[in-house]
Chains A and B, each alone.
Chain A
């Protein structure tokens, strides 16, 4: 009886020790959060996949929070909740720069490294911004068009006026185009109002007024299908006079159009890389070394400049097109 009691006690101690060490491992496993708007969209699913994959390499865990629509205040609440939960770092894409600033500042003040990715909140205290540098992306697009069409490129631009991001893209585009094809010209610019249907209307008129246009540069995500329809309306969707449409989108129908040869190319941002780099920046900030961050004392080193994750100009036959057509399910 005594022996049985001793054995039971020994087993109990052993089990407790095992459970205790498992629980300790659970407690010491670092946890990071990502906050997005349009949760469930392919773009941010790519970002979160990158975030998750990077975290897995150091045994950290992650969670994705945010609204399924554009509600920036819901994002702000999600940031607050993650701070209360005690996460080691937060990557947030700002649905609205000013709405998010308060929550980002509060998180940083609480010692939780917080950065923005894809959409910035520049006036907040965020660690840094990880995403596409619009000028550089525009430059890459302009250079690609210049290399393809040379001095013969006559470009029509479809955009929404007055937005800083689009203005930077256009400036970069002009510089990139001029860098390889100084004789190339931007012939006309139209306001598509961010509406796909409006894009078809104004691009059709633009092509009518400027028959010399042989390229349409879509400076944001919405006008591509409208611009393509415009080329059909003026009978220049195919044949010798075909107008090349340069999209700015990773949406599957656009990628399918690239594969089918309907679009000339698309400017592909790298949302997966945004997720990967966001995690590494947060991890670095959460693990201070002998020198603190120059901009955020008490936190580990991160670059003092924003991090450009770059773009790729995708054309028909590029293996990345097929890969991007199968976005991760989260």
Chain B
């Protein structure tokens, strides 16, 4: 064996070793295993284009909220208000559209509300040093309460708004294979687009990479001259932007604003982010991992219904997956420390 061959072999071994130790690799395998199992058990209903399209489209909102959650987890934060802020932003946009305001100013108002909530969260966590759990729990309650008071708990429809707005999220773009049309809804394309771009930026763009350093060791980040406060608040603002995108898509797809949107979404987002590799201790997380985490939860939920599982156990199953993921995360953190 030549030196070159040995080097190639060593490189290959290192690559395999890195791959095997990667969270994403295992998540891909687990997702594939779930897909194969469901495909074998319910081939007609599970392995259909309609089912895949529905699973992927309907997990779009959870993907966006989980990306929001991942962003704050990276900087050692937490955001329990993602679902409530989504509802508030949706309600504000829907009410403005209902009252005849043009689409773009209405959407910008929704963005402003989401950013305001994110800024308050970030400010109280970063500047005042209050636990993120407490701050965002308060925001969760306040945003949902405000949305409920604004709407008295009722749907806000906007029949006078331009029709393109209430159609665009479900508008399908696709291709024909034979007689079959394979349409992909705009909401899925937009979600995949913004998630992909953000994932690449988070992995490669230095200003965003700094969030990992901050989460890993806030003290070291501060000593190295980083503007840690600004970076921490920025994470909450970025999170708010993803929440707003989810709110826009949800409002358009359902043609209503609703104060009860996003109930329990924070738990699903947290579960997906942690399953995907984000740590409650900060400093880690990836958008691909988060996407795979959401996919896993969506597949479990889909399989549960396809197999006509008892609805009483549905939430418990998701909860059990979360507990396992948090347990694995705790074990990983413990090992890293020791």
Query: Is the Cβ of A225 less than 8 Å from the Cβ of B256?
Result: yes
Instruction: Kindly specify which of A23-31, A123-131, A205-213 makes contact with the partner chain.
Output: A205-213
B314 within 8 A of A: yes
Complex-state Cα separation, A154 to B264, whole angstroms: 30
Query: Is the Cβ of B50 less than 8 Å from the Cβ of A235?
Result: yes
Q: Within 8 Å CB of A232, what residues of B?
A: 170
B interface residues, tally (CB under 8 Å) = 46
A324 within 8 A of B: no
Cβ of A7 to closest chain B Cβ, rounded Å:
58
Query: Is the Cβ of A209 less than 8 Å from the Cβ of B312?
Result: no
A69 within 8 A of B: yes
Cβ of B78 to closest chain A Cβ, rounded Å:
21
Query: Is the Cβ of A190 less than 8 Å from the Cβ of B302?
Result: no
B199 within 8 A of A: no
Instruction: Kindly specify which of B68-76, B147-155, B273-281 makes contact with the partner chain.
Output: B147-155
**Interface residues as binary, A227-239 with B (CB distance below 8 Å gives 1, 0 otherwise):** 0010011110000
A218 within 8 A of B: no
Write the chain A residue with the least CB distance to B148: A69
Complex-state Cα separation, A161 to B170, whole angstroms: 30
A201 within 8 A of B: yes
Query: Is the Cβ of B263 less than 8 Å from the Cβ of A225?
Result: no
Q: Within 8 Å CB of B298, what residues of A?
A: 201
Query: Is the Cβ of B311 less than 8 Å from the Cβ of A190?
Result: yes
Write the chain B residue with the least CB distance to A70: B148
A178 within 8 A of B: no
Contact pick for A225, options B45, B152, B254, B301, CB 8 Å: B254
B227 within 8 A of A: no
A191-B312, A208-B51, A252-B157 given; A69·B58 CB < 8 A: no
A38 within 8 A of B: yes
Query: Is the Cβ of A195 less than 8 Å from the Cβ of B263?
Result: yes
Complex-state Cα separation, A90 to B311, whole angstroms: 39
Cβ of A247 to closest chain B Cβ, rounded Å:
12
Query: Is the Cβ of B155 less than 8 Å from the Cβ of A251?
Result: yes
A40 within 8 A of B: yes
A interface residue count range (under 10 / 10 to 19 / 20 to 34 / 35 or more): 35 or more
Complex-state Cα separation, A210 to B263, whole angstroms: 27
B163 within 8 A of A: no
Query: Is the Cβ of A196 less than 8 Å from the Cβ of B50?
Result: no
Complex-state Cα separation, A40 to B149, whole angstroms: 9
A59 within 8 A of B: no
Query: Is the Cβ of A41 less than 8 Å from the Cβ of B311?
Result: no
**Interface residues as binary, B72-107 with A (CB distance below 8 Å gives 1, 0 otherwise):** 000000000000000000000000000000000000
Complex-state Cα separation, A202 to B298, whole angstroms: 10
**Interface residues as binary, B39-55 with A (CB distance below 8 Å gives 1, 0 otherwise):** 00010011010110111
Query: Is the Cβ of A253 less than 8 Å from the Cβ of B256?
Result: yes
Cβ of A249 to closest chain B Cβ, rounded Å:
9
Cβ of B254 to closest chain A Cβ, rounded Å:
6
B258 within 8 A of A: yes
Q: Counting chain A CB atoms within 10 Å of each CB, which of B253, B308, B311, B315 scores highest?
A: B311
- Identify which of residues 22-49 in chain B touch chain A, using a CB-to-CB cut-off of 8 Å: 42, 45-46, 48
Contact pick for B305, options A39, A190, A222, CB 8 Å: A190
Contact pick for A201, options B45, B50, B58, CB 8 Å: B58
Q: Counting chain A CB atoms within 10 Å of each CB, which of B58, B155, B305 scores highest?
A: B305
B250 within 8 A of A: yes
Write the chain A residue with the least CB distance to B185: A233
Complex-state Cα separation, A235 to B254, whole angstroms: 17
Write the chain A residue with the least CB distance to B46: A208
Contact pick for A222, options B57, B260, B262, B314, CB 8 Å: B260
A69-B145, A193-B315, A253-B256 given; A209·B308 CB < 8 A: yes
Cβ of B137 to closest chain A Cβ, rounded Å:
17
A68-B148, A68-B149, A69-B149 given; A205·B54 CB < 8 A: yes
Complex-state Cα separation, A41 to B53, whole angstroms: 36
Query: Is the Cβ of A189 less than 8 Å from the Cβ of B311?
Result: yes
Write the chain B residue with the least CB distance to A224: B155
A75 within 8 A of B: no
A69-B148, A205-B54 given; A197·B61 CB < 8 A: yes
Q: Within 8 Å CB of B315, what residues of A?
A: 191, 193
Contact pick for B157, options A195, A198, A234, A253, CB 8 Å: A253
A38-B152, A204-B58, A252-B155 given; A196·B305 CB < 8 A: no
B212 within 8 A of A: no
Some 26 contacts from A to B, beta carbons below 8 A apart, are A40-B152, A70-B153, A190-B305, A194-B263, A195-B265, A196-B260, A197-B58, A197-B262, A201-B59, A201-B298, A201-B302, A204-B58, A205-B306, A208-B45, A208-B48, A208-B51, A209-B42, A211-B45, A225-B254, A225-B256, A233-B54, A233-B57, A234-B54, A251-B155, A252-B155, A252-B157
11 extra interchain contacts, Cβ-Cβ under 8 A, other than A69-B145, A161-B311, A205-B51?
Answer: A38-B148, A41-B152, A196-B254, A196-B261, A197-B261, A201-B298, A211-B45, A234-B54, A235-B50, A253-B255, A253-B256
**Chain B residues engaging chain A, CB cutoff 8 angstroms:** 42, 45-46, 48, 50-51, 53-55, 57-59, 61, 145, 148-149, 152-155, 157, 159, 170, 250, 253-256, 258, 260-265, 298, 301-302, 305-308, 311-312, 314-315
**Chain A residues engaging chain B, CB cutoff 8 angstroms:** 38-42, 68-70, 159, 161-162, 188-191, 193-198, 200-202, 204-206, 208-211, 222, 225, 229, 232-235, 251-254, 256
Nearest 4 interchain pairs by C-beta: A191-B311, A205-B305, A41-B152, A209-B306
